[in-house]
Amino acid sequence: MAGFVNQARFTTVQEVEAYWEAIRGGRLVPRRSDIDPRGIERALEYAFILERVAPGIARLRIAGSHLSDLMGMEVRGMPLSAFMTPQGRNQLGEILEEVFDNPAKATIDLLAERGIGKPEIEAKLLLLPMKSDLGDISRVLGCLATTGEIGRAPRRFEITGSRVTPLLGDFMQNEPAEEGSDPGPEIPKRIEPAPRRGLSEPPAAPFLPSSQGATGSTRPRLKPGPRPYLRVVDDE
């Protein structure tokens, strides 16, 4: 039963990503106002929304109850880096910058610190960019799912792996070219010789001496005829 629950928690990561792709609808990123909690009802416990407040720093505006359980306190208003070990905070900041600036979506593999009353926990963190109501990419729809017992809070994680996927290339492949946009460099085409038209003249024949024809044969010279006599006309 515990194994089934753990697998279901990682399934929520896939559900949140599928919902984000659905509301994205072919756009570069969706808007924050497009989010309907009913669309991720089964994942609400693990979902959250971030707001970018500084380079590499984003705070939790909305957070599911599972995130509060991991920290042992209310986490709204806290930076997402509070869930990381000191070694993982800089790496998380770099990933957040890629998510906001590229933009890109990121999946991060996490492993919790172990200690007395703190059993091993594996986790997956999903970060999906969104536009704010002002149109800038400064929001993130996220999901943090874990496996195993939480134990004694707070639990902090170190990053063991990450996959950052830029969205612009995917968007440009699916986006039709706008009218008046630069189509890019034109590929030169091979120019074939134009066929002769029905009324076109054949190429001029090579110059030949007057004594030769087109075939090179010698023509007989014409003898001059007798000179015409002059006649005087008297009009008296």
CB 13 within 8 A of CB 1: no
pLDDT reading at 13 higher than 70: yes
Please state the CATH superfamily assignment of the domain spanning residues 2-174 in this structure: PAS domain (3.30.450.20)
CA distance 187 to 185: 6
Q: How far are the Cα atoms of 197, 204, 213 from residue 200, in angstroms, in the given order?
A: 5, 12, 23
pLDDT band, very low/low/confident/very high, at 51 (cuts 50, 70, 90): very high
CA distance 130 to 20: 9
* E strands in the chain: 47-54, 57-63, 104-112, 122-131, 137-147, 157-166
Which two tokens mark 103?
A: 């933009």
Quick one: average pLDDT of 33-51?
95
Q: What is the pLDDT of residue 10?
A: 77
Q: What is the pLDDT of residue 221?
A: 54
pLDDT reading at 216 higher than 50: no
Taking only the tens place, the pLDDT of each residue in 102-114 is 999 999 999 999 9
Which two tokens mark 20?
A: 């984000």
Amino acid at 44: L
Show me where the domains of the chain are located: 2-174
Amino acid at 84: M
Q: Tell me the pairing of strands 137-147 and 47-54.
A: antiparallel
CA distance 176 to 136: 22
Three-state SS for 80? helix
Taking only the tens place, the pLDDT of each residue in 136-192 is 999 999 999 999 899 999 999 999 999 999 998 666 655 554 445 454 444 444 444
pTM of the entire predicted model: 0.70
